[in-house]
Structure 1
Amino acid sequence: MVRKYTGVAIALHWLVALGIVVNVGLAWVWPYLTDDHVRPVIDLHKSIGITVLGLAIMRLLWRATHRPPALPTRYQRWEVTVSHVTHWLLYAIIFAMPLSGWIMDSAWKDAATHPMYLYGLVQWPRIAFGSIDPATRETLHAVFGAAHAWLAYVLYALVGLHIAGAFKHEWIDGHRELRRIVPGAGRD
């Protein structure tokens, strides 16, 4: 019998994954957009990032109060270690990406004159950098912008490793492990 994650854990997993995929796509697309179209795409990227942060907080709280199903005993020790390390690094990245983006956006030189609205509806607060001198704000913007970009590459690698591990267990080992996290998948 396959031990599944709870419905809430499954929903949070796929909502976070969808947010990440859409945000990566937006980041890849906006360099090719005209000036008139790039700002709305960046604003959507920010809104989705904040949403992913909120979902990640909910997911971590859910995980702290609902033990995930144990990994199958047939896994090799190295597979268990790689799985745990990858999952915890993914959690760290899922928090670090939106936080670094929020800090970068808050330190932006034009932040005061261009408020951020969550999905164009509700003004989202920026981290208060108003009293910091402009040169320091520009440095913060650049440092956290670079960190945001580098974290994206780490995210790509971790997501790739996560997906490769799932497919290895499902299709090479024949363990049918995707049933643990796929919505609506039955039990064996």
Structure 2
Amino acid sequence: MVRYTRTAMLFHWLIAVLIVANVGLAWVWPTLDDGVRPLIDTHKSIGITVLGLTIMRVLWRLTHRPPPLPHGYKRWETYASGATHFLLYLIMFGLPLTGWIMDSAWKSAGENPMSLFGLFEWPRIGAVMSLDPATKESVHDGFGMAHGNLAVILYALFALHVLGALKHQFWDGERELQRMLPGRQAG
């Protein structure tokens, strides 16, 4: 069994945990009346962090080939795996970018600086902020809808990804999980 590198595992699990946390935040804040602002700010900070980590992950992947899939995979499974991973990468870029554009088009963005985990101010996209108010509102709403739609696609892709790994591990008897789980390689 050929495993992923430790760096690939780190990127995989760190991004996965951050995405799950961000989904949780997005599900929780609509149920709160007061104190929602810190959750939204944390959601934005996590999104920007996921974008940065995804850029680093892609750069790593371009210079480090992933291990080959086990030989027992059917042709359609190999295709489905590649397509799912490609779409997950698009989502890992698309969700933070649509959120950043939506936030930059927010009508109160100028009066409410965005900070990265409260450490320093994170810039908004100047070209979006300088749009006229009607266009900015349209951009905000359009990218907000795109952000929500990408989230729904993320849920479906996440389910496919997890179910595929579990199918190969437990149904097919491939040691799929061990390829991406940190720790020592079992014999």
Scaled to the shorter chain, the TM-score interval is over 0.9
Q: Percent identity?
A: 61
Pick from 41, 44, 48 the counterpart of residue 42 of structure 2.
44
Pick from 112, 119, 122 the counterpart of residue 120 of structure 2.
122
SS in 2 for 1:117: strand
User: Distance between the aligned counterparts of 2:72 and 2:129, measured in 1?
Assistant: 55
Cα deviation 1:40-80 (Å, max 9, x = unaligned): 00000000000000110010000000000001111000000
**Unpaired runs of at least 5, structure 2:** none
Q: Is the 8 A contact 1:108 1:137 kept in 2?
A: yes
Q: Is the 8 A contact 2:95 2:147 kept in 1?
A: yes
* Regions of 4+ moved over 3 Å: none
Q: Is the 8 A contact 2:114 2:121 kept in 1?
A: yes
- What are the residue-to-residue correspondences of 1:1-188 with 2, within 5 Å? 2-35=1-34, 37-128=35-126, 129-188=128-187
Q: Is the 8 A contact 2:70 2:174 kept in 1?
A: no
Q: Is the 8 A contact 1:179 1:185 kept in 2?
A: no
TM-score (structure 2 length as normaliser): 0.98
**Unpaired runs of at least 5, structure 1:** none
Cα deviation 1:1-41 (Å, max 9, x = unaligned): x1100000000000000010000000000011122x10000
* Number of corresponding residues: 186
- Shifted more, 171-180 versus 39-48: the winner is 171-180
Q: Is the 8 A contact 1:5 1:180 kept in 2?
A: yes
